[in-house]
Each structure stands twice: as structure tokens, then as C-alpha cells.
Copies of this chain bind each other. A is one copy, B any other.
Amino acid sequence: MEPLHGPATYEHEPPRHWALKINSKEPFNAEPPACELVDSYITSVDMFYKRNHGPIPVLENYSLFRLKVGGLAPNHCSLSMDEIKQLPKHTVVATLQCAGNRRTAMSLSRKVKGVGWDISALGNGVWSGARLSDVLNMVGIPNYTKVSSCGGKHVEFVSVDKCKEENGGPYKGSIPLLQATSPDADVILAYEMNGEELNRDHGYPLRVVVPGVIGARSVKWLKSIDIIAEECQGFFMQKDYKMFPPSVTWDNINWGSRRPLMDFPIQCAICRPEDGAYLEEGSKVTVQGYALSGGGRGIERIDVSVDGGKTWIEAKLGQGLKSGHGYIPDDDDHRDKWAWVLWELSVQISSPTDILAKAVDSAANVQPESVESIWNLRGVLNNSWHK
């Protein structure tokens, strides 16, 4: 038996926190109550959303496990966990967000296919491990390489889980070689989350963390890394996680016509007060939420309305140097470049109404007002104004 393997059944699942809202039991997909998110800039391991496509892999033998690195690289190698831990340890604060976050709201407009996520399919973690670029150096690929000397242009990450979508094969994904070999892109092979050893739900013993792109590319239970000539041909790159216009249906879809999603758009949501909370007229409430954008773009501001969008008040941005309001121009180490921003605003409720929130990122991108204009059959990247 392989030292790390994906079981065929759900008998070996790890324990999970009782407070998680389970969207699918097998494979296990669950998110925390939204209010948990805004209670802490760093999301606890317990409350971090769980996104799986099969049973959780089992590491039978830590010392026999080896990560294989090969493909279109001058050299090949295989690394034990101890060898990976001997490489310089790099820590990144990065928010991972499932492309399906807020899918449930999109489905209300018109039914979409996929796990029904509310607004908490994301979390902000502290990830520590080896830089992917350092590992690629070991197989002869220098930093900042677009095309390897053997013609490789993408880096493929292969897991060991058994995914129905891959006909029982493992989950896979790839990123461009230039991103993989750029130390400032902060792609890491993480063995720690929030200062603790990675747990099974989050990829033990080793996962990739690709900051600034949809969570789907941060492959868990990493078994091998392959330098490849073209982007990965796996299901989750080619037949899923792509963006289609509202007019495309399951009858006329042409998967080959679109790019795999990587970068994602400006997003924000209200986590407190919770949906349906009774807000008395004249009462003062503290509204809290999160905001994030893809590609390392910062958050310029958050606008909140308690009168149905007639007037907007700017929220106060919390931890995170990315805040535009009272920004710090000399962000030395960009420690939070890849992280969300938590925000809050105390407002007087003058008449019963939905609270609205929308964000602007550092590229001045804004969220669309209605979900209809961005509706897509897979229900990905719903970033319409939140209420």
C-alpha cells in the first residue's frame, strides 16, 4: 500500500466541529456560520470551510512518503517530508475562497449545478512550508522561468484522493510556470496551517497554497508535481471551474472555448447581523463582513447602505494593510497581500430594510448589482451586491 493513499469509502473521515453547516456529507463539504468568520482575522482550522471531492486520504507511513517532482524539468527528484522541512520555511497569510462561494444565492435566481454554498466557503489561513520555487530550483528550473529548457510551461499538482469526477482518479490542477517560479507569487508547499501541523481535512501531510486564485488550484494531499507543456487536462481544469455567460446551458456548453478560472473578482459579504435578524427601527447595529479580491489586489473601500441603495456609508476597514482608507503606502513585506479585509460599520436603522454591501478593489473594479447579469450554469463566482 502507498504511504499516502485515498480510500474508496468514507470509513476513515476525520472528526469535525459540530457547528459546521454540512452542505454534502460524502464527500464532506461544509462551511462555518458566517458570524464565526468576522470574529477573527485568521480563521481557525476547525471553522475553515472543508471542500472535498472524495474520501479524505490517509497517510499510512510518514517516513516512507515522498513527493515526486518531475516532468519537463532538467532533473527529477523525490522528497521526504523531512527533506521538505529542511528547505527554508516560508509563511504566507492567504485567504482561500471556493469558486462556488455564494452559489446558493445564485441558484435562487435560476437553478445552478454544484454544492450549495452560502457565504462562508472561504477562510483566511496562515500557511507555512517550502516555497514551490525553491523545490523547482532543485530540479533545475531557475526562478522567474516562463518556459523550462525542456519546454514546460505549466506546473501540475496531483493529489491521491479518489474523485468521482475523475472516474476514481486523483484531483489535479495546474498553474503557469512563471507564477510557480516567482518567489513573490508566494506559492508554497504547506505543511502547517495557523502554526500547527496541517490536518487531514486540509491536506495532511502536504498541500499547495496558490494565493490570489480560486481555492480549486490549491491542491491537497499532494503526491506529485509535474512540469507539463500545456495546462493540466484534468476534469477540474477543463470541465469545471470555467466562466460562461447566462445564455450557455447544459445543452449548448462548449467547455473547450473557455479558460480555466484562476484569478477571481472583487467580493464582499455581510456576516453580521445574520440573515433574517430582526432589526428594530431606530436601533443602532454593528454591521460586519469580509472583502477580498483576486490576484493580490487590495480593497479600496466598502460601501454599506441601509436604505436600499439610495445612500451609502463607507465601512471601517479592520486588520489588513490593504485598506485604502488611511492606507499605509510603504507596505514593506506585503504580509497581507493575499488576505481578506474584515470591515465593520455602526449604523442607525431608520426603517426595516435589507442591509446592502459592496466593495471596490485597488483596480477600481466593483461588484455587479444583480446576480442575473453574472448567472452561470455552474454557479461560480457570485460576487453580486450582498444583502
Residues of chain A at the chain B interface (Cβ within 8 Å): 143-144, 146-147, 153, 178, 183-184, 229-231, 243, 245-247, 257-259, 261-266, 294-295, 297-298, 300-301, 303, 311-312, 314, 324-327, 329-330, 332-333, 360, 362-366, 368-369, 373-374, 381, 383
A183 to B182, CA, bound (A): 12
Q: Is the CB of A265 within 8 A of B144?
A: no
Shortest Cβ-Cβ A-B pairs, 6 listed? A263-B363, A265-B365, A365-B365, A265-B364, A364-B381, A294-B363
From B264, B301, B363, A364 is in contact (CB under 8 Å) with B264
Please state if A324 and B258 are interface contacts (CB–CB under 8 Å).
yes
Is A366's CB under 8 angstroms from B362's CB? no
Tell me the smallest distance from the CB of A94 to a CB of chain B, in Å: 16
Cβ B297 vs Cβ A263 within 8 A: yes
From B143, B147, B311, B373, A332 is in contact (CB under 8 Å) with B147
Whether the pair B329, A230 counts as a contact (CB closer than 8 A) is yes
B residues in contact with A303, CB < 8 Å? 245
Q: Identify A324's interface contact among B259, B364, B381, CB under 8 A.
A: B259
Count chain B CB atoms within 10 A of each CB in A295, A325, A327, A365 and give the residue with the most.
Answer: A365
Q: CA separation between A364 and B143, bound complex, in Å?
A: 29
CB neighbours (8 Å) of A258 from chain B are 300, 324-325, 327
Given A184-B178, A230-B330, CB of A364 within 8 Å of CB of B261: yes
With a cutoff of 8 Å between Cβ atoms, the chain B residues found around residue A297 in the complex are 263, 295
**In contact, B363 and A369 (Cβ under 8 angstroms):** no
Chain B residues within 8 Å of A365, by CB: 265-266, 363, 365
Contacts of A332 in B (CB 8 A): 146-147, 153
Bound Cα distance from A373 to B369, whole angstroms: 10
Q: B363 near A374 (CB under 8 angstroms)? A: no
CA distance A368 to B381 in the complex (A): 16
Most buried by B among A153, A178, A262, A363: A363
Asked if A329 and B369 make an inter-chain contact with CB atoms under 8 angstroms apart, the answer reads no
Quick check: B144 and A184 within 8 Å, CB to CB?
yes
Contact between B144 and A144, CB atoms less than 8 A apart: yes
Cα of A333 to Cα of B366 in the assembled complex, Å: 30
Cα separation A230 to B264 with both chains bound (whole Å): 29
- Chain B's closest residue to A248 (CB) is B314
Measured between beta carbons, the chain B residues less than 8 angstroms from A265 are 363-366
B366 touches A257 (CB 8 A): no
Tell me whether A259 and B312 are in contact in the complex, defined as CB-CB below 8 angstroms, given that A231-B329, A295-B295, A329-B230 are known contacts.
no
A300 adjacent to B366 (CB under 8 Å)? no
Q: Which residue in chain B gives the minimum CB-CB distance to A231?
A: B329
CB distance from A214 to the nearest CB of B (A): 9
On whether the beta carbons of A247 and B312 are closer than 8 Å, the reply is: yes
- Whether A312 contacts B245 by the Cβ 8 Å rule is yes
Chain B min CB distance to A323 (Å): 10
- Chain B residues with CB under 8 A of A257: 324-327
Distance, CA A259 to CA B301, complexed state (A): 11
Residues in B whose Cβ lies below 8 Å from that of A153? 330, 332
Q: How far is the CA of A17 from the CA of B182 in the complex (A)?
A: 45
Please indicate the chain B residues that have their CB under 8 angstroms from the CB of A230 in the complex. Answer: 329-330
Closest residue on chain B to residue A322 by CB atoms: B259
In the complex where A231-B329, A295-B295, A312-B247 touch, is A374 in contact with B366 (Cβ < 8 A)? yes
Instruction: Tell me how far the C-beta of A124 lies from the nearest C-beta in chain B, rounded to whole angstroms.
Output: 19
